[in-house]
C-alpha cells in the first residue's frame, strides 16, 4: 500500500507534457521476397495538447534506423601506377539503413545539444571505433561511409519532406530500398520546438525474409553441402525437363 501511494505521489509530482506526439505507420512488417523491389511506408500522426499552443515554431523530424553493423572503410592511394588500399578505419556500429526526414533543414531547427542527445542526424547515428588511433582524419572515413551508402540508397536525408498542417497533423513517406537487410528497424518521431526535442514517439518495423527465402538462406550458410546438392539436382531436373520438352515439340 505504501509503495502504491509513493508511486502515485511521484506520478503527480512529474510535470505534465504540454505537447505529445501520437503516430502510426501504414505497415509495421516488411517481407523480403525474391522479387522484392523496395517498400514505401507512410508515417503519420498528430500532436495532442493539454494546454494552449506554445509560442514559437513547431517542427517534426522522422527517422528510420536499420540494425547496426560494424564496418571497415579503406582509403586507396596510387602506388606504382595502381590503386591499392593504404589506410583503414573501423566503425564500431553503423546503421545498415538510416533515413531522416524533417519539416525544415536540421541545422535550422535542431540545436547541437539536442542532436547529440538523441543522435538524430546521420553523422551522429554512426558510432566510430577508436581501435586505430594511427589513422589520420578519422572523420573523413565516416564521411566516406555516408557517401557510399547514400549512393546505394541506404542513407537518406530528406529536408522539407514532412508535411505539417496547422501545427497538429503531420505525414511523410519513407522508402526502404531493395538492398536492405532483415531485422528490427526503429522508427522515431520527434517534436521539436525552438531547437529542443519536446516529445518522442518510437515504434518498430519488422523486416523479415519470407518463409522460402529464409529456408534457402539458412540452408546456404548453415549446410552449404546440402545446398550445393539441391542446386545441382534442380539444374539436372530443369535441364532434363527442357530437353524432354524440346524432343516432344520436334
Residue 90 structural domain: 15-209
User: What are the grid coordinates assigned to 38, written together?
Assistant: 523496395
Q: What cell numbers appear for 180 in the block?
A: 536492405
Q: Does residue 1 sit within a domain?
A: no
pLDDT of residue 44: 95
Has residue 8 been placed in a domain? no
232: its cell numbers: 545441382
pLDDT per position as a tens digit, 110-150: 999 999 999 999 989 887 544 445 556 667 888 888 999 99
CATH number of the domain to which 30 belongs: 2.60.40.3880
What average pLDDT score do residues 6-29 get? 66
Mean pLDDT, residues 155-174 taken together: 94
Q: Which three cell numbers stand for residue 77?
A: 592511394
Does residue 214 sit in the same domain as residue 230? yes
Whether 204 and 123 map to the same domain: the answer is yes
From start to end of 114-166, where are the E strands?
127-128, 155-158, 163-165
Is residue 230 within 8 Å of 95, Cβ to Cβ? Answer: no
Asked whether residue 2 is assigned to any structural domain, the reply reads no
Kindly state whether residues 194 and 220 are assigned to the same domain: no
Q: Do residue 64 and residue 124 come from a single domain?
A: yes
- Within a domain: 239: yes
| Distance from C-alpha of 43 to C-alpha of 148, rounded to nearest angstrom | 26
Same domain? For 114 and 85 the reply is yes
Q: What are phi and psi of 217, to 5 degrees?
A: -65, -50
Look at residue 36 and give its three-state secondary structure: coil
Q: Has residue 4 got a pLDDT over 60?
A: no
Judge whether 115 lies within some domain. yes
Question: What confidence tens digit (pLDDT) does each residue in 174-224 have?
Answer: 999 999 998 999 999 999 999 999 999 999 999 987 655 555 556 566 767
121 within 8 A of 106, measured Cβ to Cβ:
yes
Q: pTM for this structure?
A: 0.74
Amino acid at each position: 500500500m505504501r509503495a502504491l501511494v509513493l508511486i502515485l505521489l511521484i506520478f503527480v509530482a512529474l510535470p505534465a507534457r504540454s505537447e505529445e506526439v501520437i503516430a502510426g505507420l501504414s505497415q509495421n512488417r516488411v517481407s523480403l521476397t525474391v522479387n522484392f523491389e523496395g517498400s514505401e511506408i507512410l508515417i503519420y500522426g498528430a500532436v495532442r495538447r493539454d494546454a494552449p499552443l506554445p509560442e514559437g515554431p513547431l517542427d517534426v523530424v522522422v527517422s528510420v534506423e536499420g540494425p547496426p553493423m560494424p564496418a571497415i572503410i579503406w582509403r586507396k592511394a596510387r602506388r606504382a601506377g595502381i590503386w591499392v588500399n593504404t589506410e583503414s578505419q573501423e566503425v564500431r556500429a553503423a546503421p545498415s539503413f538510416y533515413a531522416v526526414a524533417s519539416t525544415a533543414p536540421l541545422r535550422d531547427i535542431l540545436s547541437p545539444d539536442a542532436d547529440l542527445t538523441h543522435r538524430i542526424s546521420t553523422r551522429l547515428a554512426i558510432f566510430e571505433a577508436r581501435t586505430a588511433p594511427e589513422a589520420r582524419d578519422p572523420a573523413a572515413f565516416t564521411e566516406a561511409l555516408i557517401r557510399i551508402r547514400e549512393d546505394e540508397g541506404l542513407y537518406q536525408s530528406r529536408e522539407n519532406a514532412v508535411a505539417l498542417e496547422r501545427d497538429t497533423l503531420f505525414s511523410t513517406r519513407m522508402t526502404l530500398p531493395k538492398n536492405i537487410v532483415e531485422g528490427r528497424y526503429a522508427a522515431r518521431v520527434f517534436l521539436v520546438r525552438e531547437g529542443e526535442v519536446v516529445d518522442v514517439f518510437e515504434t518498430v518495423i519488422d523486416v523479415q525474409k519470407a518463409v522460402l527465402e529464409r529456408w534457402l538462406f539458412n540452408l546456404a550458410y548453415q549446410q552449404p553441402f546440402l545446398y550445393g546438392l539441391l542446386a545441382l539436382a534442380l539444374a539436372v531436373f530443369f535441364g532434363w525437363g527442357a530437353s524432354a520438352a524440346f524432343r516432344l515439340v520436334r
